[in-house]
Chains A and B, each alone.
Chain A
Amino acid sequence: MEEKLKRAKDKVVHTQVWRSIFRQGWPTTERNRVLTSINTLLLHLHPIKVKTHALKIRYTFCLGGVTLFMFVIETITGLLLMYYYRPTLEYAYQDMKDLEFTVTFGLFLRNMHRWAAHLMVLSVILHMCRVFYTGSYKPPREFNWVIGVQLLVITLLLSFTGYLLPWDQLAYWAVTVGTNMAKSTPIIGAEGPFAVLPANTDICFYLRGSEDISGNTLLRFYVLHCIFLPLSAAGLMGVHFWRIRKDGGISGPL
């Protein structure tokens, strides 16, 4: 029986298809384990060796991992929502209500996207606290701390741009207030100190695409929310994870 199984396994493992996918043998030797990590896209970000103490859940609470998980949920639900949502004055609100009331599981989809977004902001902040309290921002990890801060900003921006898309009263006024702040930027804001630009060319105008919140703003925020910001976040996350590995693995004293 065992013989038969072994033969069957060999038959599969020695095919061209198998070998083209898995270039190394079973990770039974030290070398093969290293190759397993190096040869696959997803695992190559992961350190080849993990310290045993890092496996303890209460060491990091997996907060970075939770954030990544939220980001994946946001990507999947966001892509699905894009099938139903049109970022125009005429349809934006109506499409959102359609999702709530007529699309099967549409309400679930929308709520999942929304709650995951809230949780992502929360977990990013907790992650930062954890890194701070364990002193993990100290050299040689100072570069990764800076990347992390940029990721925090992008997360908040993703949240902010997404807030406008339902195009209801809450969205409209929240973003009005939010973008009004840009007017007070020094020099480039129309109402800030040392202002040099008039209201129709200042930084707030470029943010909104018009002097008030309008269809332009909606489209602008939509593109930012769905393309520009997620891609930037994904790129920076790649650097972030790679740097963890290069800086001596997940937390712990060096």
Chain B
Amino acid sequence: MSFANYVWFAGVGTALVLSIGVLFIHEYLRVWKDHQAIAKRLQLKSLESRMDALASEASRAEGEQKKRLEERRRVLSMVYAQVKATPRQIQQIQLEQFKKVDRCTTCHFTVEDKGMMGQPQPYGGHPGAFLDWHEVQDFGCTICHEGQGLSTDYMQAAHKAIRIHGSERERPWPRGVQTKYLLQSSCGKCHLTKDVPYAPLLTKGRGLIEKAGCYGCHQIRLYEDLEKIAPTLDRLGSKVDRAWLLHWLNDPREYAPVTGEGLVRSRMPRFDLTKEDILCLAEFLMSSKDEQSLEEPPSGGNPERGGLLFREIRCVTCHTVEGKGGYIGPELEQITTKVSRKWAYNWLIKTHYFNPKTKMPQLDFSKEQAVDVVDHLWEEFGADQLTPPEGFQEAEESLKLSTEERMTRGEKLFSDKGCAGCHPRSGMEREGKTGRPLEKFAQMDEETLDWGKIDRFKIEPYVGNWVYMRLLNPRDLAPEGKMPHFSLTETEAALVALALLSDTGDKIPPKYLVEEKSSRYPRPPYPLPYGGVQGVEAQTVKEYPEPPGEFGRLVDRYRCRSCHVVFGKGGWVSTHPLDMEGSQVQEDWLRHYFDMPYSLRPILKERMLNLKMEPEEPKFFTEFFKTVSLDNSISPTLGSSLTEEEAQRGKGLFIKKGCRACHIVEGRGGFVGATLDKVGDRLTAGWTYAFLKDPQRYKPWAIQPDYGLTDQEARELTAYLMTLKDKGRVEKVSEHHQGGVGREGG
């Protein structure tokens, strides 16, 4: 063998030995080992300082307090010993229910230690109290945070965006580790309710989907069997002005230009129809008439009386006038150009006949009163005739189609564009879902989505971004598509995307699902932050019962459920479900409240309507609430056991806890909470006590903080609040009542 061959042999042999050496070093120096060592060192240091602090505190304290502190120190020292004894090894959480294994705690070793909160990652403790009611051992990490739980390596765990070959930008792995805002979409995997506690963005997003009526055209989880959002189109020909309809179809935002941003402006999207299409569609829509049901309004109404009635009933609680008022009903400023006077008159008299699904109560107007109100509206807002929008006159003339042909084309447009998804129309109940089903949204493959003109290498081509862009500007992505323009703001679009992304299609064991029906009636099952798990078990109901008998008739007539929860179902405009009303308020107060309802909160826009009930109806409601709508866990006799002395101490407590920051008492205080001046006349002592002990009892998103009051403290505060009575009230009310301000008043 030549010398060169020896050199070769030696070289190759050395390289081989070296590469095997590298293999061993690589195996030994895994990144997680360093992280775990640092985390453990930091945690031990922090535990030591915490133990020292407790020891010095204990040396200064005495009696019970000293014992408690020493006990806490003992617990910490046990944790210390346990951490110290843990060998350096891969930590993993086996989630048998989810069929997952998470190894995140290998590096995020201290995640369960609250004392480590605020340390730099991966050594920090989990922020907030989320781990208290989502135990790490039950849920692991990636159920919420996504990413690759099996991995023990930073990049492989999908913490960060991955650069895709050929792309100018880094692109997040669609299911990579989620932090900050998008994280809330993970809550929606298990929380199948419209309101998700501590996930305000998700809750808003879900609310927007419901409000915008996305489910009219798309199949979306959680929105399967909801009512259509828009009013019925039957009898439209008798209801609206044709010129108005042309305006409305051309651009709905033009009609409601003043009332706020985004979806508040108009729920009806713009469909980009041609003038010819609009004319045909209008022809088709106006063909549905119902002249028999309409009665000619008598002339000679008194607009002044009508205006008085309008204000007294508080129509602006639901209807906007001059930019002020609620958004439940349509705004009334332009109502005179929209509907005929005849329709308005008949609507007031037979509200529920014309639209059985409306949120408006059936008020008991006499014919004269109805004419008064209608004349008030017409006087106030003018009676000008609308002219068709620009260019429609010419289009009308040049459109060479017979009425028959227009009707056919209009009907085809109606079903093609999915109008029936939002508007009920007899004979078209089954039509509507013309859009792409959005179930398992997060799993949608971006390759199958239509990106239109968008250069995918310039953006992050990810399904969430796709729907965001699609909501803001649908024609950029699909020039020929059907999706209309919604007047969403950018924030609203992002929230809708977030809510849609919560449908990941992951299999969640039924045990972990939080469903609508189990969560709101009678109380949510989820425990509260820092308060530990609440004792009461959730009661699951299969169906919400309909309110029975006479009560049910009245609830339906006055549409209580538009704002209040009754028998588990309804709106949340009011503070608490009426199902507990009997335990909450005093009988006297309740009976008189219907006569002259007032707002409890100074800043609240929505106020109780003056429903102008029959004289016996408030009495009936009061009796029903006092006998049926009770919470058995609230003591009805607490009030009588409270003493003067307790009330005195309660007053001190009231000042000490700073209640006035939010509540008004004796004319001074904040505007956030309810005014407490006459609270002793309104609430029962039992309710007040229960509410102070657990403010989120019926409404998990209640603002009132849980001060963790002891039983005695809560008693004292209750006693003080019960002394806040309106001295002159009793006389005033009886006087008021005799004056006959009942239904015929004003």
- How far, in whole Å, are A100 and B155 apart by their CA atoms in the complex? 13
Question: Are A97 and B148 in contact, CB atoms less than 8 angstroms apart?
Answer: yes
Q: Which residues of A contact B23 (CB under 8 A)?
A: 105, 108
CB under 8 Å from chain A, chain B span 116-152: 148, 150-152
Q: Is the Cβ of B27 less than 8 Å from the Cβ of A98?
A: no
A101 CA / B27 CA spacing, docked (Å): 10
Q: A102 within 8 Å of B by Cβ?
A: yes
Task: Given A101-B150, A101-B151, A101-B152, decide whether A108 and B27 contact each other with a Cβ distance below 8 A.
Answer: yes
Q: Which residues of B contact A108 (CB under 8 A)?
A: 23, 27
The answer to whether B101 and A101 have CB atoms under 8 Å apart is no
CA distance A97 to B151 in the complex (A): 7
A104 in the interface, Cβ–Cβ < 8 Å? yes
Using Cβ atoms and an 8 Å threshold, which residues of chain B touch A97?
A: 148, 150-151
Residues of B within 8 A of A179 (CB): none
Q: Does A10 lie at the interface of the complex (its beta carbon under 8 Å from any beta carbon of B)? A: no
Q: Is B423 an interface residue (CB 8 A)?
A: no
Instruction: Check: A94 CB closer than 8 A to any chain B CB.
Output: yes
Chain B: interface size category: 10 to 19
Give A126 to B153 CA distance when docked, in angstroms: 37
How near does chain A come to B157, taking the closest CB pair, in angstroms? 10
Report A97-127 CB contacts with B as 1/0, cut-off 8 Å: 1101110110010000000000000000000
B395 at the interface (CB under 8 A from A): no
A100 and B27 contact, Cβ closer than 8 Å, known pairs A90-B99, A94-B101, A94-B150: no
- Contact assessment for B90 and A101 in the assembled complex, using a CB-CB cutoff below 8 Å: yes
Binary flags per residue of A66-96, CB closer than 8 Å to B gives 1, else 0 = 0000000000000000000000001000100
Give chain A residues whose Cβ lies under 8 Å from the Cβ of B103: 101-102
Kindly state the separation between the CA atoms of A44 and B27 in the bound complex, as whole angstroms: 41
B355 touches A (CB below 8 Å)? no
Q: Is the Cβ of B150 less than 8 Å from the Cβ of A98?
A: yes
Contact A104 B151, beta carbon cutoff 8 Å: no
Tell me the nearest residue of chain A to B174, going by C-beta.
Answer: A169
Q: How far is the CB of A73 from chain B (nearest CB, A)?
A: 14
Q: Within 8 Å CB of B148, what residues of A?
A: 97
The residues in B between 48 and 76 inclusive whose CB is less than 8 angstroms from any CB of A are: none
- B387 an interface residue at 8 Å Cβ cutoff? no
Distance, CA A205 to CA B147, complexed state (A): 34
Residues of B within 8 Å of A94, CB to CB, are 101, 150
Complex CA distance for A223 and B247, rounded to whole angstroms? 68
Contact B99 A100 (CB under 8 A): no
Interface string of B155-168 (1 = CB under 8 A from A): 01000000000000
* Cα separation A192 to B101 with both chains bound (whole Å): 44
Q: Which residues of A contact B153 (CB under 8 A)?
A: 101
Question: Please, what's the 1-or-0 string for A137-165, where 1 marks a CB less than 8 Å from any CB in chain B?
Answer: 00000000000000000000000000000
Give the distance in Å from the alpha carbon of A146 to the alpha carbon of B151 in the complex: 46
Task: Report how far A97 CA is from B148 CA in the complex, Å.
Answer: 10
The closest CB in chain A to the CB of B149 belongs to A97
- A101 to B148 alpha-carbon distance, docked (Å): 12
| Contact status B90-A100, CB under 8 Å | no
Instruction: Give the CA-CA distance A7 to B27 in the complex, in Å.
Output: 50
- Cβ proximity bits B14-46 to A, threshold 8 Å, 1 near / 0 not: 000000000100010000000000000000000
Shortest C-beta distance, A115 to chain B (Å), equals: 12
Instruction: Provide the A53-76 mask, 1 if CB < 8 A to any CB of B, else 0.
Output: 000000000000000000000000
CA distance A97 to B149 in the complex (A): 10
A101 to B150 Cα, complex, angstroms: 8
**A-side binding surface: helix, strand, loop or mixed?**
helix
Shortest CB–CB separation between residue B287 and chain A, in angstroms? Answer: 47
Within the assembled complex, what's the spacing in Å between the Cα atoms of A241 and B150?
45
Pair B101/A100 contact, Cβ less than 8 Å:
no
Complex alpha-carbon distance, A86 and B731, angstroms:
84
Alpha-carbon distance A104/B90, docked complex (angstroms): 12
Residues of B within 8 A of A98 (CB): 150
Smallest CB separation, B597 vs chain A (Å): 60
Q: How close is B148's CB to chain A, nearest CB, in angstroms? A: 7
Instruction: Determine the distance from Cα of A218 to Cα of B647 in the docked complex, in whole angstroms.
Output: 75
User: What's the least CB distance linking B142 to chain A, in Å?
Assistant: 12
A94 to B152 alpha-carbon distance, docked (Å): 13
**A102 vs B89: C-alpha distance when bound (angstroms):** 10
Q: How far is the CA of A105 from the CA of B156 in the complex (A)?
A: 17
Complexed CA–CA distance, A105 and B26 (Å): 9
Q: A94–B156 Cα gap in the complex (Å)? A: 13
- In the bound complex, CA of A101 to CA of B151 (Å): 6
Could you tell me which residues of chain B, from 74 to 108, have a CB within 8 Å of some CB in chain A? 90, 99, 101, 103
Whether A104 and B99, one on each chain, are in contact in the complex, defined by CB atoms closer than 8 angstroms, is no
Tell me the nearest residue of chain B to A112, going by C-beta.
B23
Closest A residue, CB atoms, query B30: A101
Contact mask A25-41 → B, CB, 8 Å, 1/0? 00000000000000000
Shortest A15–chain B CB gap in Å is 35
Measured CA separation A98–B151 after assembly (Å) = 8
Which A residue's beta carbon lies closest to that of B90? A102
Please report the C-alpha to C-alpha distance between residue A101 and residue B154 in the assembled complex, in whole angstroms: 12
Q: Which residue of A lies closest to B106 (CB)?
A: A101
Q: Which residue of A lies closest to B152 (CB)?
A: A101
Within the complex, the shortest CB–CB distance from B735 to chain A, in Å, comes to 77
A108 to B23, CA, bound (A): 8
Q: Tell me the complex Cα distance, A104–B28, Å.
A: 9
Q: A52 vs B259: C-alpha distance in the bound complex, in angstroms?
A: 97
Min CB gap A125→B, angstroms: 24
Closest residue of chain B to A108 (Cβ to Cβ) is: B23
The verdict on A104 contacting B27 (CB below 8 Å), with A97-B148, A97-B150, A98-B150 known, is yes
Compute how far the CA of A105 lies from the CA of B27 in the bound complex, rounded to whole angstroms: 7
Chain B residues, CB < 8 A from A101? 90, 103, 150-153, 156
Cα A108 to Cα B28 in complex, Å, equals 13
CB contacts (< 8 Å) of A90 on chain B: these are: 99
Distance, CA A162 to CA B484, complexed state (A): 47
B92 to chain A, nearest CB (A): 8
CA distance A108 to B151 in the complex (A): 16
Whole-angstrom CA separation of A70 from B153 in the bound complex: 30
Report the minimum CB–CB distance from A217 to chain B (whole Å): 19
Q: Chain A residues near B27 (CB, 8 Å)?
A: 104-105, 108
CA distance A108 to B24 in the complex (A): 10
Chain B residues, Cβ within 8 Å of A104: 27
Residues 159-181 of A, flagged 1 when their CB comes within 8 A of B and 0 if not, give: 00000000000000000000000
Identify the interface centre among A90, A100, A101, A108: most chain B CB within 10 Å of its CB.
Answer: A101
Cα distance A105–B103 in the bound complex, in angstroms? 18
Nearest-CB residue, chain A, relative to B20:
A108
Nearest-CB residue, chain B, relative to A98: B150
Q: How far is the CA of A106 from the CA of B710 in the complex (A)?
A: 58
Task: Determine the distance from Cα of A47 to Cα of B27 in the docked complex, in whole angstroms.
Answer: 43
**Could you say which residues of chain A place their CB within 8 Å of the CB of B99?**
90
Q: B636 to chain A: closest CB distance in Å?
A: 56
Which residue of chain A has the shortest Cβ distance to B32 in the bound complex? A101
Residues of chain A lying within 8 A (CB to CB) of residue B156: 100-101
The residue among A97, A100, A105 with the most chain B CB atoms within 10 A of its own CB is A97
Residue in A closest to B151 when the chains form the complex, CB atoms: A101
Q: Separation in Å of the A62 CB from the closest CB of chain B?
A: 14
- Docked complex Cα distance between A104 and B156 (Å): 18
Which chain A residues border B151 with CB–CB below 8 Å?
Answer: 97, 100-101
Minimal beta-carbon separation of A153 from chain B (angstroms): 29
Q: How far is the CA of A139 from the CA of B439 in the complex (A)?
A: 64
Across the interface, which residues of B come within 8 angstroms of A102, CB to CB?
Answer: 90, 103, 152
B384 to chain A, nearest CB (A): 62
Q: List 20 A-B contacts (CB under 8 A).
A: A90-B99, A94-B101, A97-B148, A97-B150, A97-B151, A98-B150, A100-B151, A100-B156, A101-B90, A101-B103, A101-B151, A101-B152, A101-B153, A101-B156, A102-B103, A102-B152, A104-B27, A105-B23, A108-B23, A108-B27
List 5 A-B pairs, minimum CB-CB distance, nearest first: A97-B150, A101-B152, A108-B23, A102-B90, A101-B151
19 more contacts with CB within 8 A, not counting A101-B103, A101-B151, A101-B153, are: A90-B99, A94-B101, A94-B150, A97-B148, A97-B150, A97-B151, A98-B150, A100-B151, A100-B156, A101-B150, A101-B152, A101-B156, A102-B90, A102-B103, A102-B152, A104-B27, A105-B23, A105-B27, A108-B23
